[in-house]
Amino acid sequence: MDAPHIEPIVEDPTAPALAMRGLSKHFGKQVAVNNLNLDVPRGSFYGIVGPNGAGKTTAITMATGLLRPSAGSVWIDGLNVWEGQGLEAKQAYGLLADDLPTFDRLSGIEYLQLLGALRSMDEATVAQRSESLLQALDLEDAGPKYIADYSAGMTKKILLAGAMLHRPEVLILDEPLEAVDPVSARTIRQMLSAYVAAGRTVILSSHVMEVIEGLCSHVAIIADGQVRASGTLDQVRMGESLSETFIHLIGARELDDSSLGWLR
Ligand SMILES: Nc1ncnc2c1ncn2[C@@H]1O[C@H](COP(=O)(O)OP(=O)(O)OP(=O)(O)O)[C@@H](O)[C@H]1O
């Protein structure tokens, strides 16, 4: 296999939609993210993949100002997240991640109203956008109900609606299609593609290579807290499927049949 493509980072970190420079995170002796450098070009649909424990969630959490890095800097939409522009940066992105608070005792509609108020949006715009998002995501009936009573897929969809409500420049989504039924998944794919077509940036992390290959223009493979390959989908795949590239880069592990003989 040829050397993997790693797209060089640009000189001006305010130019990309998201720029990570020398980003590191240590949890005691555990190095979760290790001097990570990555640019997400504006207007791209950017996939982030990597094995379990690669550091994807930690990097995203630091990039969005929710977890302080041990070292390094992050710019979102040209705004320095950790050095003085964190509040402005929070207006510039929308985030869907598993451990976000969902305010279970609010209904879906109230949750969107709360987010709208926190983002200083006017009520009429919030109402109009909420209605169209709930309709598109097949949550019309669920809208007045407590989020505590939502299924996993419904919760994912209301979090997605919340991330999109203020029409951010950069949408960052950790496994947005997980637990979502195929009809809703198709709608979400169409919504995200339209979002990118309108000139905004979507960053998506997923373990499902077909999702990344079907949607993304660019991809980064992350392992051990570092970028192992990055660039356009074709630059990274180098004529293979993304799944094959991933396995070549990360290394396949063969099942040790003898130690699992008891399963038979
Ligand atoms: N709060 C924490 N305390 C200690 N270690 C942590 C913490 N959060 C993450 N880690 C460790 O950091 C490493 C990276 O974890 P992270 O959740 O970022 O990986 P990931 O790529 O998102 O994995 P997955 O694909 O399984 O979601 C792992 O080894 C994990 O155990």
Sorted by where each begins, the domain ranges of the chain are 18-252
Tell me which residues of the chain have a pLDDT lower than 70.
1, 252
Could you report the per-residue pLDDT of 164-209, keeping only the tens digit for each?
999 999 999 999 998 899 999 999 999 999 999 999 999 999 999 9
Pocket residue to mutate for ligand 1, from 27, 66, 175, 222, most atoms within 8 A of Cβ:
27
Q: Let me know if 112 is exposed, middle or buried by CB neighbors in 10 A (0-12, 13-18, 19+).
A: buried
Ligand 1 centroid, distance to 222 Cα (angstroms): 13
Ligand 1 centroid, distance to 236 Cα (angstroms): 24
Atom of ligand 1 minimally distant from the CA of 225 = 14
Which residues form ligand 1's pocket by a CB distance below 6 Å?
27, 30, 32, 50, 52-58
The residues near 38 (Cβ < 8 Å, ≥ 6 apart) are: 9, 18, 19, 20, 59, 220, 227, 230
What is residue 104's predicted lDDT score, i.e. its pLDDT? Answer: 82
What is residue 1's predicted lDDT score, i.e. its pLDDT? Answer: 65
Name the CATH architecture for the domain at 18-252: 3-Layer(aba) Sandwich (3.40)
Which residues make beta-bridge pairs with 149? none
**Assigned token pair, 263:** 């399963």
